[in-house]
Chains A and B, each alone.
Chain A
Amino acid sequence: MNATFAIAGATFGEAIRKRILMVILLAALVIILISPAFEPFAGRGQRTLILSFGFGIVQLAGTFIAIIMCTGLIPTEIERRTIYTILSKPVQRWSFVVGKYLGAVSTLAFVYLMMGMVFMIVSRIALGEFDPKIAQGLIMFFFQSSLLAAVTLFFSTFVSPLVNYFLSGGVFLMGNLMSSFLETIQRNPEITPWTRVPIQILTVILPNFANFNIQNPIINPEQVLTDEVAYLIQTVLYAIVYVVLLLVASILVFNQREM
């Protein structure tokens, strides 16, 4: 495991020095900081504005950072040939893949910590109260981004970064929309099984990213999550199981890969 953690540490160190990732993080922090200034233009309550703005920016930045960081995780190592000096040491390929993923998740944790701290400070100052549920929403977004990072890492074991941007972005979009799309289809009796069944299969295969979007009950307290604790635990477990499955698939593909 020593090697895995060494690779994770190097991945984290490199990621937090990537200019593009830090520009996205910095932009997100600035937008969250100045969000109370938009109140006169919003036409909504201050609470709704600050929370929906903050959650929106955090999710957007987290998504972009996860995809941009992970598309290059493996192809860049091959292109620069750093992978040869690593795999020629007593490092198993699974250890390399897991190390890269842990490094990516550590980076996401750092990014979410920074954005979360600024978001909570801004909401505390602007709203005069601290709502612990904001942290809950941020943690769910962190798991959402971590799952997206695993999807992107899986694709990075066999496709180029450019293709991976579209694949991972597409999976994220579909994974956010599929469950509501399926509900709509199921309510419509005119849809034939030929259309419904493939959509049902896709909904099962694709990770359900919509599960993690719990910001609405936090922004609007009149909306309530039924059995909230069970829902949160179930969603986190769903993310962990899905990540493990994706890592196993990534390792299987990477084991066969010739560089």
Chain B
Amino acid sequence: MSDYAIKINNLTKRYSGLWSQQPVDAVKNLNLEVHRGEIFGFLGPNGAGKTTTIKVLLGIIYPTSGEAYVLGKPAGDPQNHYQISYLPENPYFYDYMTGREILHFYARLFGIAEPERSRRVDQLLERVGLSRAANQPLRTYSKGMLQRIGLAQCLINDPQLLILDEPTAGLDPIAHIDIRDLILELRAQGKTLFISSHQLSDVEIVCDRVAILHKGELVRIGKLEDLLSGGYVEMIAEKVPEAVLEPIRQLGGRPSLHDGRLVVEQPDDGSIDRVIDLVRAHGAHIISVKPYRRTLEDLFVETIQGGGRR
């Protein structure tokens, strides 16, 4: 059994232009590995190539060059689809069906027969909190309820790999938390989750590793703890003489002094203790010391606006 839930080698997807239009590379030479059992965040601004990559993984479109493997088999192999599930962004389902009927429909696509089908449908309706609305047509469902039914259809086959495109987009805070908890519960069961999302705060909470795609190219990939290391500590002090500025700079800090009030941004590497000692030694009064952790949003903005590979 392959160690990777997803393995992508030099994947390029080019859309040919009509007539005089130039061909567009939606994804360029993408190399990516997603380990089994992890929650992987697949990030990027609109048009970065995330959905194109997902469509290749599902066999809905074909790569121009390169290869993609899902659970050890070539992407798009319908036999593989017994083990995977997909939730598209803003999912639409046959809205004349009830919640129960749509789950029966998807279960039939897997060939799940009765009475097992009914058992799974009831269990999933309970799990996503839609038992009471199970017999209502989907057209009466709110966005949050549709997202829940979308997740339920993802789980009907008890998949090993779930590919979720914007699973929490447009949800109210309660639904947001419920779906986030469900994602964490799935990881605890050993499932692999590949999540494409713009909700960076959610990604930061649930993901083990992330990749950032920009203009079709992979610009960052790694464990969240590694990517987000390197925060800083802000210290504010009063009655500080100018003489402390140079020693602080030598310790790697960025001091600014106005009318005796000092603000220092010091790397989060332990050197703040020496800065505090230094400032106290000069008779200054420390007002506050506050650590600032680097967020995924900082990393994302820095990566995309910087535009460069790191």
Contacts and interface: CB of A to CB of B under 8 A. Distances in A.
Given A91-B78, A92-B78, A258-B60, A2 B111 contact: yes
A80 B82 CA distance: 23
A89 interface: yes
A90 B82 contact: yes
Most interface-central of A9, A85, A87 (chain B CB within 10 A): A85
B91 A85 contact: yes
Interface in A63-100: 80-92
A82 B111 contact: no
Given A3-B108, A3-B109, A3-B111, A87 B59 contact: yes
A13 B97 contact: yes
A84 B86 contact: yes
A14 B93 CA distance: 11
Interface in B80-115: 81-82, 84-88, 90-94, 96-97, 105-106, 108-111
Given A84-B86, A90-B82, A259 B59 contact: no
B78 A90 contact: yes
A10 interface: yes
B58 A88 contact: yes
Given A81-B91, A85-B88, A88-B84, A2 B106 contact: no
A6 interface: yes
Nearest to A88: B86
A17 interface: yes
B59 A2 contact: no
B250 interface: no
B93 A258 contact: no
A131 to B, nearest CB: 38
A82 B93 contact: yes
B13 to A, nearest CB: 9
Interface residues on A, range: 20 to 34
B4 interface: no
Interface residues on B, range: 20 to 34
Given A2-B108, A90-B109, A85 B153 contact: yes
A91 B109 contact: yes
A66 to B, nearest CB: 21
B20 interface: no
A11 to B, nearest CB: 9
Nearest to A92: B78
Contacts of B153: 85
Nearest to A6: B108
Interface in A1-50: 2-3, 5-7, 9-10, 13-14, 17
Given A6-B108, A89-B81, A90-B81, A82 B94 contact: yes
A73 to B, nearest CB: 13
A83 B90 CA distance: 13
A3 B92 CA distance: 19
Contacts of B81: 88-91
Contacts of B59: 87
Contacts of B86: 84-85, 88
A14 B138 CA distance: 13
Contact of B109 (A6, A17, A259): A6
Most interface-central of A14, A88, A91, A258 (chain B CB within 10 A): A88
Given A88-B85, A91-B78, 10 more contacts: A3-B108, A3-B109, A9-B105, A14-B94, A80-B92, A81-B91, A82-B94, A91-B81, A258-B62, A259-B55
21 contacts: A3-B108, A5-B108, A6-B108, A7-B109, A10-B94, A13-B94, A13-B96, A17-B96, A81-B88, A81-B92, A85-B91, A85-B150, A87-B59, A87-B60, A89-B106, A89-B109, A89-B110, A90-B81, A90-B82, A90-B109, A90-B110
